[in-house]
Each structure stands twice: as structure tokens, then as C-alpha cells.
Amino acid sequence: MKITQDIDTAITALEANIRPLQHRVDQLRDERKALLSWQFIEANNITRADVEMSSGDDRPYFGVIETFAKWMKNRGTHKRFAEWNGTIYFTTDLLNGRMPRDMPARTSDLND
């Protein structure tokens, strides 16, 4: 019994030491995501008006990306970009059933 308590105490102490480092790693990852998003938005000169949004007053509830893509296709969307769950994608990708995981831009980083 004593041995497991010693191990538990050591684990708790190590976790306490790691916590500030993990917090800093998380902060740096968030900063990196924001920087990549802003760079993509700037490089592609994206404004909110350039993005077909998946939600809003004039939109039905889509639930799944395929329904949103079908709606855009039927509507004849001409916007170069489309949003799903806050991420900005190339509209052509979504219309063709692709959803690249490495798309860096987020609608929360758009200026207008």
C-alpha cells in the first residue's frame, strides 16, 4: 500500500511541475493558429463578404456539411470561400466533397 501512495505522490508532484509548461505550450499553439489564419486571410484578401456562411438569419439549419454543400450547389454559390464550424474552406473543395484538415483560416479572425 505504501508503495502505491509513494508513486501517486510522485505523479502528483510531476503533474504540478508540468502544468505551467503545458499551459505555455497551449498558448503558443493558439498563437500559431491565429497567425496562420491571419496570414491565409491576408494572402487571399478574404473579407466576410467573400465567405458563404453556413448559418445566419437567411439560412436553414444544415446539420451536416453535405447538406450545406448541396444547398450551395443548388443555390449556385459564386463565393470563393465557404465556412463550416468557423473554418474557412475553398468553396470548390466543399462542393466536391473535400474537407481539407489543414485549412488554417477561421471566421473569427476576419476583420469585416
Residue range 36-52, pLDDT digits in tens: 999 999 999 999 999 99
Residue range 67-108, pLDDT digits in tens: 999 999 999 999 999 999 999 999 999 999 999 999 999 999
pTM more than 0.75: yes
Beta-ladder partners of 89: 82
At 2 the pLDDT is: 72
Q: What are phi and psi of 90, to 5 degrees?
A: -70, 130
The alpha helices in the chain, defined as continuous H runs, are 2-43, 65-75, 91-95
Band of pLDDT at residue 1, cut at 50, 70 and 90: low
